[in-house]
């Protein structure tokens, strides 16, 4: 065993050598022996097994000395004969080697027994913690096991909300001690995880008591501090005590991590289920409402083209009206669904590098039908950069801005759409020659969505369209600003989007 | 269309579980001289596609017994019959998946009969027997002679780099139909990474600079946002020019 040698062990070894001497003396009286060295092997062997290496060594030396006393002339330490020298040297060597080997075997056996005890304790700890449902239960279990393993009282300090520290009530910590321990507990809790994870802090409380503090937590952070009481000895704890404590703490950390993981998985599953439910709901509402409209719209279109109605322009007009109105109705439903998607958080942009002109042109094509009464003026700057956006969302936002411009400006007026590159951003502007805005309205026009009750036309193009546009653009990291020189002076809506930084490699097109 | 229909009435298979949709699609196609077969389920659709060998299928995605995509896959396992997919506001991802699974085109509900008929004409031209389709393609001022490898705009020849020509040819081979980014990438860079669409966008930008009268407002090659590109037919070009408001 490592550690200090108890003096009793050395005395025991000495007593055994004296016993062996008595045995040797008795034997020489019965039958004269040339050498008694073999008899002195017994105390060496017994001391090695019982007490360890040092007493065994002592027994070997004392044995060799006593052996020499039995050489004739008896009771003289004079060694005369060469065979006596050989006998002494050989017996001493054998005794020393045998003593060492026996002591080693003993150490190994003791270590194995200790490991077995440790493993059993950790196993018990593991099964106790497996049943724990929250972190606090784990702290308490770890503390109880540590207290048992180290045979010392252990107190638990838990990091509460907003930096407070709660101590789990325990008889081992008095109020005064708690006051002294708390700063050290705070230090231990604040230490970054990882390198400092296995750190232990030794604190001496005025009054002579000392405590050893260990952090306990998962990989992220320490959630609690265990304080092991070392009483009034004030002796620094042996490294094996700390080692044992660490084993227990590591086991505790593992349990805490498992607990955190289980909880995270459960939460994610729950979120996924509710997301799925919401998507199914939106999907089915979309299907249920829009399929009948598809039927109405398609049928009206077929009617309008029917040979039987070729000479009935009024009826054809009616059929065309049904077709157009059902298309409008469908677009309103789509807007409502968009609003629901935004509100329920189902809106996740799929960002992709794209030529902004493609998006602007797609929006112009899609809105063309409703801007037929207006003149369109494109003002595109040279060398427009690529942008990383969700093309579909930005296209819808632009369609809404264009339709808004068409709605609030007189037929025959011009709608200008401009695209310009700036240092960090790209700006798309939609300007009309319509009613314009009061300065106070610049923010309000986007807000209708949130004050929906006042606006019966919730799904109408006017207010909701801009709100949807704003949310879609914001989802792409951009914003929309409204400006106007004043009432009657037209309105300008500007979409600002971040530029894509790195220019892509020009591989692939071998010319140029 | 009506000429071809007069000599040999084409058979269109309409697959949709909604009777109202089937009814008007049937009426609209019959007016154009088609014969019609109708299916309400995926099972019926596959059976009819095998037994009646239709010239065209209009396929709804949401069928009661199976996904429309399953029907598409089944048909594509043995037939190149033109398929137009109907869907309710399908996502771009879904459109891409369908096009790559072999759909010739898609149309989002609600749609007008005129839109559907325009698409029908395009996909039927692709399936026309070889030899009847001309290697000469004209859209607006652009003409493309696939056999002679000559591209000209407004009568004047346009020089294109081999990659630009390859891109235009790929689109011309599916004239009027959408090719997804991935389909084009695979054709242009068979060994290259399929993910990086940026090369394609840059190449497209250069091609448009050469062939479009006004590259900032491309007319001949249409962008299908987040899906792919389409070389417009004359009819598609006329349609877009008709609806477009006056420009300053």
* Mean pLDDT in order along chain B per 10 residues (248 residues): 58 94 94 94 93 93 86 91 83 84 89 91 76 74 89 91 93 90 89 75 90 89 89 89 71
Where is the domain boundary, A266, A292, A316? Answer: A266
Same domain (yes/no): A471, A390? yes
C-alpha to C-alpha distance for A467 and A449, rounded to whole angstroms:
6
Strand order through the sheet with B150-153 = B136-139, B142-145, B150-153, B156-157
A436 falls within a domain:
yes
The structure tokens listed for A18 are 């004296």
Of B15, B108, B100, the C-alpha closest to B65 is B15
A107 and A160 together in one domain: no
Is residue A449 very low, low, confident or very high in pLDDT (cuts 50, 70, 90)? very low
Query: Which residues are registered as beta bridge partners of A217?
Result: A222
- Residue A131: predicted pLDDT: 79
User: Where residue A235 falls among pLDDT bands split at 50, 70, 90?
Assistant: low
Calculate how close chain A gets to B8, using CA atoms only, in Å.
Answer: 21
pLDDT tens digits for A321-338?
Answer: 999 889 888 887 887 777
Residue A474 lies in a domain: yes
Cβ contact, residue pair B206, A354, below 8 Å: no
Domain closes at, from A94, A126, A158: A126
For chain A, the average pLDDT equals 79
**What gap in Å lies between CA B99 and CA B93, rounded to an integer?**
10
pLDDT, one tens digit per residue, over A18-48 is 898 888 888 888 877 777 788 888 888 888 8
Least confident of A252-266, A436-450, B54-68: A436-450
Distance CA B216, CA B208 (A): 9
Using the Cβ of A327 and the Cβ atoms of chain B, whether some distance falls under 8 Å is answered with yes
pLDDT mean over A240-246: 78
A248: in domain? yes
Write the pLDDT tens digit of every residue in B54-86: 999 999 988 888 888 889 999 999 888 999 999
Task: Say if residue A201 is in the same domain as residue A292.
Answer: no
B129: which 2 tokens?
């027997």
Kindly determine whether residue A361 and residue B223, on different chains, have CB atoms separated by under 8 Å.
Answer: yes
Same domain? For A122 and A137 the reply is no
Alpha-carbon gap: B112 to the closest alpha carbon of chain A (Å): 5
Residue A2 lies in a domain: no
* From the candidate CATH numbers 3.40.50.970, 3.40.50.10860, 3.40.228.10, 3.40.50.2300, the one assigned to the domain spanning B2-127: 3.40.50.2300
Q: What is the pLDDT of residue A494?
A: 94
Could you report the per-residue pLDDT of B102-133, keeping only the tens digit for each?
A: 999 989 888 989 889 999 998 988 776 554 45
Q: Which range, A227-236, A285-294, A437-446, is most confident?
A: A285-294
For residue A255, the domain's CATH number is 3.30.450.40
Where in chain B are all domains bearing CATH 1.10.10.10? 136-243
| Token code pair at residue A370 | 């409703």
Portion of chain A with pLDDT greater than 90, in percent? 11
Whether A285 is covered by a domain: the verdict is yes
| A127-154 pLDDT per residue, tens | 888 877 778 888 888 888 888 887 888 8
- Cβ-based burial of A65 (10 A; exposed 0-12, middle 13-18, buried ≥19): middle
pLDDT at position B103 is 92
Mutate to test the interface with A, among B159, B237, B245 (most CBs of A within 10 A): B245
More confident residue, B12 or A454: B12
Instruction: Judge: A334–B218 Cβ closer than 8 Å, yes or no.
Output: no
**Residues A139, A258 share a domain:** yes
Nearest neighbour of B202 by CB, restricted to A295, A305, A506: A506
Domain membership of residue A503 (yes or no) is no
Mean pLDDT (whole number) for A244-268: 81
Backbone dihedral angles phi then psi of residue B222, each to the nearest 5 degrees: -90, 145
Range of the domain at A156: 131-266
Letter string b/e over residues A199-226, b meaning 16 or more CB atoms within 10 A of that residue's CB: ebbebebeeebbbbbbbbbbeeebbbbb
* Predicted confidence (pLDDT) at residue A4 exceeds the cutoff of 70: no
* pLDDT for residue A237: 60
> What are B62's two structure tokens?
């949401």
pLDDT of residue A507: 44
**CB spacing of B161 vs A511 below 8 angstroms:** yes
Query: Is domain B136-243 annotated with CATH 3.40.50.2000?
Result: no
Q: Which of A78, A100, A126 is the last residue of a domain?
A: A126
Which residue in the set B20, B164, B201 is minimally distant from A299, CB to CB?
Answer: B20
Find the CB nearest B216 among A293, A371, A378: A378
Give CA angle at B192 (A395, B205), nearest 5°: 40
Tell me whether residue A509 is in a domain.
no
Q: Are the CB atoms for A48 and A75 separated by under 8 Å?
A: no
Cα distance from A301 to chain B (closest Cα, Å)? Answer: 6
Q: Does A166 touch chain B (CB under 8 A)?
A: no
C-alpha to C-alpha distance for B224 and A359, rounded to whole angstroms: 9
Two structure tokens written together for A72: 């004739």
Please name the residue that has the structure tokens 């010739």: B104
Within 8 A of A353 by CB-CB distance, chain B residues are: 197-198, 201
Cβ contact A301–B113 (<8 Å): yes
Write out chain B residues lying below 8 Å of A302, CB-based.
24, 27-28, 31, 113
Is residue A144 domain-shared with residue A259, that is, in the same domain? yes
Residues forming CATH 3.40.50.2300 domain(s) in chain B: 2-127
Predicted structure pTM score: 0.58
What is the average pLDDT across A94-120?
A: 85
Same-domain check for residues A295 and A283 = yes
B188: chain A residues, CB-CB within 8 Å: 508
What pLDDT, on a 0 to 100 scale, did the predictor assign at position A197?
53
Same domain flag for A222 and A317: no
Residue A358: list chain B partners with CB under 8 A.
223, 225
Closest partner CB to B225 (pick from A298, A376, A395):
A395
Q: Answer yes or no: do A336 and A385 share one domain.
A: no
Average pLDDT for A243-267 = 81
Is residue A508 predicted with pLDDT exceeding 70? no
Residue A237 falls within a domain, yes or no?
A: yes
Same domain, A26 and A76: yes
pLDDT digits (tens, 9 = 90+) for A381-428: 877 777 888 888 899 899 989 988 888 888 899 999 999 988 888 999
CB-CB contact of A156 with A224 (8 Å): yes
A336 and A412: one domain? no
Report the CATH number that the domain containing residue A465 is assigned in CATH.
Answer: 3.30.565.10
Question: Which residue from A minimizes the CA distance to B60?
Answer: A291
- Residue A85 CB-half CA count within 13 A: 4
Same domain, A13 and A53: yes
Q: Determine the pLDDT at residue A297.
A: 93
Query: Looking at chain A from residue 379 to 418, which residues have their Cβ under 8 Å from any Cβ of chain B?
Result: 380, 386, 390-392, 395, 414
At A277 the pLDDT is: 80
Inter-chain touch A287–B88, beta carbons under 8 Å:
yes
Tokens of A270: 């729950």
- Tokens found for residue A404: 């808004």
**CB-based contact B245 A375, cutoff 8 Å:** yes
- How many domains does one find in chain A? 4
Under a CB-based contact definition with an 8 Å cutoff, are residues A76 and A85 in contact?
no
């Amino acid at each position: 065993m490592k550690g200090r040698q108890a003096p009793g062990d050395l005395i025991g070894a000495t007593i055994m050598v004296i016993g062996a001497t008595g045995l040797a003396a008795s034997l020489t009286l019965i039958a004269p022996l040339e050498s008694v060295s073999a008899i002195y092997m017994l105390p060496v062997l017994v001391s090695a097994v019982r007490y360890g290496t040092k007493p065994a060594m002592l027994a070997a030396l004392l044995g060799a000395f006593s052996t020499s006393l039995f050489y004739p002339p008896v009771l003289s330490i004079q060694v005369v004969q060469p065979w006596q020298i050989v006998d002494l040297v050989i017996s001493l060597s054998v005794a020393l080697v045998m003593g060492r080997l026996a002591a080693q075997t003993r150490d190994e056996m003791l270590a194995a027994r200790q490991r077995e005890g440790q493993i059993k304790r950790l196993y018990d700890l593991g099964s106790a913690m497996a049943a724990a449902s929250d972190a606090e239960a784990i702290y308490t279990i770890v503390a109880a096991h540590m207290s048992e393993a180290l045979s010392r009282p252990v107190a638990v300090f838990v990091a509460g909300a907003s930096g407070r520290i709660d101590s789990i009530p325990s008889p081992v910590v008095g109020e005064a001690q708690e006051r002294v321990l708390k700063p050290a507990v705070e230090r231990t809790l604040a230490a970054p995880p990882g390198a400092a994870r296995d750190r232990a802090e030794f604190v001496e409380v005025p009054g002579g008591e000392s405590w050893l503090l260990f952090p306990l937590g998962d990989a992220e952070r320490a959630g609690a501090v265990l304080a092991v009481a070392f009483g009034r000895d004030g002796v620094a704890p042996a490294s094996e005590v700390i080692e044992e404590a660490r084993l227990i703490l590591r086991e505790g950390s593992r349990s805490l991590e498992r607990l955190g993981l289980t909880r995270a998985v459960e939460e994610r599953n729950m979120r996924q289920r509710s997301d799925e439910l919401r998507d199914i709901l939106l999907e089915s509402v979309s299907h249920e409402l829009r399929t009948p409209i598809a039927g109405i719209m398609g049928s009206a279109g077929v009617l309008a083209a029917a040979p039987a109605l070729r000479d009935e322009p009024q009826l054809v007009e009616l059929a065309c009206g049904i077709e157009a109105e059902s298309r409008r109705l469908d677009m309103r439903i789509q807007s409502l669904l968009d609003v629901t998607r935004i509100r329920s958080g189902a809106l996740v942009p799929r960002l992709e590098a794209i030529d902004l002109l493609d998006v602007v042109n797609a929006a112009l094509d899609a809105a063309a039908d409703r801007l037929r009464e207006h003149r369109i003026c494109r003002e595109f700057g040279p060398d427009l950069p690529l942008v990383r956006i969700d093309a579909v969302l930005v296209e819808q936002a632009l369609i809404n801005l264009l339709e808004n411009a068409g709605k609030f400006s007189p037929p025959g007026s011009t709608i200008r759409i401009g695209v310009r590159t700036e240092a960090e951003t790209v700006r798309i502007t939609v300007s009309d020659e319509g009613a314009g805005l009061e300065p106070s309205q610049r923010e309000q026009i986007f807000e209708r969505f949130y004050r929906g009750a006042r606006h019966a036309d919730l799904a109408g193009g006017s207010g909701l369209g801009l709100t949807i546009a704003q949310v879609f653009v914001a989802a792409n990291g951009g914003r929309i600003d409204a400006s106007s020189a004043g009432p009657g002076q037209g309105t300008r809506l500007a979409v600002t989007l971040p530029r894509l930084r790195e220019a892509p490699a020009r591989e692939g097109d071998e010319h140029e | 269309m009506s000429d071809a229909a007069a000599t040999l009435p084409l058979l269109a298979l309409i697959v949709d579980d909604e009777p109202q949709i089937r009814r008007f699609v049937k009426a609209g196609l019959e007016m154009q001289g088609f014969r019609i077969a109708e299916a309400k389920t995926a099972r019926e659709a596959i059976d009819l596609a095998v037994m009646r060998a239709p010239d065209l299928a209009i396929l709804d995605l949401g069928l009661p017994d199976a996904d429309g995509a399953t029907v598409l896959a089944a048909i594509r396992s043995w037939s190149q019959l033109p398929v137009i997919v109907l869907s309710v506001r399908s996502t771009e991802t879904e459109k891409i998946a369908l096009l790559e699974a072999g759909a010739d085109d898609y149309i989002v509900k609600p749609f007008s009969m005129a839109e559907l008929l325009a698409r029908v004409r395009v996909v039927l031209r692709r399936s026309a027997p070889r030899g009847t389709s001309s290697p000469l393609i004209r859209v607006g001022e652009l003409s493309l002679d696939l056999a002679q490898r000559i591209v000209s705009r407004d009568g004047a020849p346009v020089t294109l780099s081999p990659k630009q020509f390859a891109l235009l040819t790929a689109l011309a081979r599916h004239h009027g139909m959408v090719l997804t980014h991935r389909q084009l990438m695979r054709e242009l860079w068979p060994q290259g990474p399929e993910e990086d669409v940026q090369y394609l966008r840059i190449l497209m930008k250069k091609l448009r600079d050469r062939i479009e009268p006004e590259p900032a407002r491309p007319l001949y090659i249409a962008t299908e946002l987040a899906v792919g590109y389409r070389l417009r037919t004359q009819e598609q070009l006329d349609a877009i020019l008709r609806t477009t408001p006056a420009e300053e």
